[in-house]
Amino acid sequence: MRYLVSMIVVRSAVVFAIGFTLIFFGLAGCDDAVTDPEDPEDDGGPTTDVIEISTIDELQLIGNDSDYPLDGDYVLVNDIDASETAEWNDGEGFEPIAQGEDDRFDGTLDGQGFSIDALVINRPDSEDVGLVSKTTNRAEFADLQLRDIEIIGGERNVGGLVGESQAEKISDVRIEGSVEGDRFTVGLLAGSSSGELYDINVEGIVRGERVGGITGRNRGNITRTSAVVEVRTRDGTRSGGLVGNNWQDSEISKSVVKGTVEGEHRIGGLVGHNSGTIRESRVEADVSGEWTIGGLAGSNSDHASITDAYVKGSVSGVVDGSSSGGIGGAVGGTRSGDGGGEISGVYVAADVVADHRWMGGLLGRNNDEIAISSAYWDLDKSGQEAGVGEGEYGEYVEGRTTEQMQGDAAEANMTGFDFDDTWQVVEDDYPVLQWENE
């Protein structure tokens, strides 16, 4: 009897110990399991499920299936072959995500370094055309590649990734291919953009009106971007290698354009028309048009600024003497207004060719007497004796020979430049911006 009682006691103790151990370690290691996602007081907060995308068919489900909502968080898990979209919808191709009139993509898309290849969208009668049609200001895109794309849209907002983007942030995106729109705001990344863009690289052909290699219209901040492009406008204005129209309070910095930019008026290597800020950027492109043509900006508003930037390549205009805009190595013309604009820390090492009454190695026509200082142009390369064709300018605005602007001689002859923190000399070449060698 004693033996039986002893066994019962031992067994009870063992069961209690095991139960206590499981409960203790279960609670200690599984905090998320007791989180109430509906309780705002709960520190754990709501749990968001990530939706994996592995095929072009799954990508097309976004916004068209309850399991793929427009506010979902999506990740690519492999490269996606989208070549079959050329045959979809009677030749119209992929239907842009959030194409509905009241729809906007409100989620996130993380490419995880993977690519979507050979995407085709052929909708010349539609507005807001791209992989995604329209977004809210909460949307985000990151670490994504679109390769060999062919996008054709209608009159407004045509882009490779987004037609009309209000996305909070787009980063680490690379796009290769062609994008074409019938009229306003076309770009390889977005037709129009009002968020933050950084670490963006595009390469390809852009056609339309108010065109930019990255975006046709920028109302946000763009930094560390690169565009290797062929930009052509159709009876167009305000087009540039990076941005067509850079709005007031918007900024472009640490960006590069290479290729060709062609249009009619207000055509620039970096931007067609600048109302915001441009700094620490460069253009190595051939820029041509009829009037108000510049290596950095076709036209520059009276309150806008361009600082620490340079131009290589060529700037040319085919104009008659009655045209109101000028031809300049850096800026074609400035627009009159309340004043306060600035052009400084700029140099031009480009051919400047035109038959125009207002043309200069730096600026064609300074309508509002915007402050121009610390700016230089290569007398040998540009073929221009005057830095500004029409208007006033300030200190350290001087023409220099190629020899004076290259190597160690640059520091002695371009004394308005900050060679301590912004610029650096290059042996047997023109100065570069320090960030370019970071």
pLDDT in tens, 386-417: 999 988 787 889 999 999 999 999 999 999 99
pLDDT at 22 over 80: no
How would residue 438 be classed by pLDDT, with cut points 50, 70 and 90?
confident
Structure tokens at 309: 């930037």
Backbone Cα Rg of the chain: 28
Contacts of residue 387, Cβ cutoff 8 Å, sequence gap at least 6: 360, 361, 362, 363, 375, 377, 393, 397, 398, 399
Whether residue 387 contacts residue 360, with contact meaning beta carbons closer than 8 Å, is answered with yes
User: How far is the C-alpha of 288 from the C-alpha of 133, rounded, in Å?
Assistant: 31
Instruction: Return the beta strands (E) in 156-242 as ranges.
Output: 156-159, 162-165, 169-187, 190-193, 196-212, 215-218, 221-233, 237-240
Mean pLDDT of the 344-372 span: 89
User: How far is the C-alpha of 424 from the C-alpha of 224, rounded, in Å?
Assistant: 19
The amino acid at 292: T
User: How far is the C-alpha of 322 from the C-alpha of 339, rounded, in Å?
Assistant: 25
DSSP percent split of the chain into helix, strand, coil, nearest 5: 15, 50, 35
For residue 28, the surrounding DSSP H or E stretch is helix 2-29
In this structure, the dihedral spanned by the alpha carbons of residues 311, 314, 318 and 319, taken in order and rounded to 10 degrees, is 30
pLDDT at 38 over 70: no
How would residue 320 be classed by pLDDT, with cut points 50, 70 and 90?
low
Q: Strand 429-433 vs strand 423-426: parallel, antiparallel, or unpaired?
A: antiparallel
Question: pLDDT tens digits for 248-296?
Answer: 999 999 999 999 999 999 999 999 999 999 999 999 999 999 889 999 9
Nearest to 53 by CA among 86, 78, 82: 78
Structure tokens at 310: 């340079």
- The structure tokens 């995407």 sit at 119
Whether residue 262 contacts residue 231, with contact meaning beta carbons closer than 8 Å, is answered with yes
Residue 412 sits at the vertex; the CA angle it makes with 406 and 415, to the nearest 5 degrees, is 105
User: How far is the C-alpha of 383 from the C-alpha of 351, rounded, in Å?
Assistant: 7
Whether residue 151 contacts residue 129, with contact meaning beta carbons closer than 8 Å, is answered with yes
pTM of this prediction?
A: 0.88
pLDDT at 192 over 80: yes
Q: Strand 327-328 vs strand 359-360: parallel, antiparallel, or unpaired?
A: parallel
Nearest to 173 by CA among 183, 160, 192, 184: 160
Could you give the count of Cα atoms lying within 13 Å of 149 in the half-sphere of its Cβ? 34
> Which residues on neighbouring strands pair with residue 350, listed in sequence order?
313
pLDDT of residue 338: 55
